[in-house]
């Protein structure tokens, strides 16, 4: 996040940014169908995160709960986190072998901007699940996971 003050701008340091995201993730987001938090509260570098997406209504994902892993390397938020589904899912932007969200197939990661957050990623993935081109994709059995 950059805060504009006339001609100069202040770049919020990585840890402050991640603390803001952690606080927001813990409070719950919007309608509660997207959430995230840290994997390990003892990780002082705040790298490893878990996300959850509740499948959107009127889609093949309705009623399913998807677990994801997000990894914010030292260059986050200047570069996007790596994102990987733990729960098996069939989406055009997700590698069918590993569950990784492929940046070149997912606009938000391909065109990453520093202002984007983990919340934005999860929300955009949920929109992708509900998109017309995703509606007819056959899904793996519920409760199955990528290795």
pLDDT, tens digit (0-9, with 9 covering 90-100), for 87-129? 999 999 999 999 999 999 999 999 999 999 999 999 999 999 9
- Residue at 36 is within a domain: yes
DSSP codes, 97-123: TT-BBPGGGSHHHHT--TT--HHHHHH
- Residue at 141 is within a domain: no
Spatial separation of the C-alpha atoms in residues 34 and 46, rounded to whole Å: 19
Spatial separation of the C-alpha atoms in residues 48 and 50, rounded to whole Å: 7
- Residue at 96 is within a domain: yes
Q: What is the pTM of this model?
A: 0.90
- Residue at 144 is within a domain: no
Q: Encode pLDDT of 33-44 as tens digits.
A: 899 999 998 999
- Residue at 123 is within a domain: yes
- Residue at 24 is within a domain: yes
Q: What is the CATH number of the domain that holds 15?
A: 3.10.110.10
- Residue at 85 is within a domain: yes
Q: What's the Cα-to-Cα distance from 136 to each of 29, 49, 87, rounded to whole Å? A: 28, 30, 19
pLDDT of 116: 97
Domain residue limits at 117: 2-134
Q: Encode pLDDT of 51-83 as tens digits.
A: 999 999 989 999 999 999 999 999 999 999 999
Q: What angle separates helix 118-130 from helix 14-27, to the nearest 10 degrees?
A: 50
pLDDT of 7: 53
């Amino acid at each position: 996040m950059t805060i504009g003050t006339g001609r100069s701008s202040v770049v919020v340091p990585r840890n402050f940014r991640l603390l803001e995201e952690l606080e927001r993730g813990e409070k719950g987001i919007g309608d509660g169908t997207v959430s995230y938090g840290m994997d390990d509260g003892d990780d002082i570098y705040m790298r490893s995160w878990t996300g959850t997406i509740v499948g959107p209504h009127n889609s093949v994902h309705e009623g399913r709960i998807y677990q994801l892993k997000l990894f914010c390397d030292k260059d986050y938020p200047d570069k996007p986190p790596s994102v990987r589904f733990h729960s098996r899912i069939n989406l055009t932007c997700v590698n069918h072998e590993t569950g990784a969200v492929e940046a070149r197939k997912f606009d938000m990661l391909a065109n990453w901007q520093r202002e984007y957050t983990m919340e934005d990623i999860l929300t955009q993935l949920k929109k992708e699940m509900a998109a017309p081109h995703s509606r007819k994709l056959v899904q793996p059995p519920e409760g199955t996971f990528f290795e």
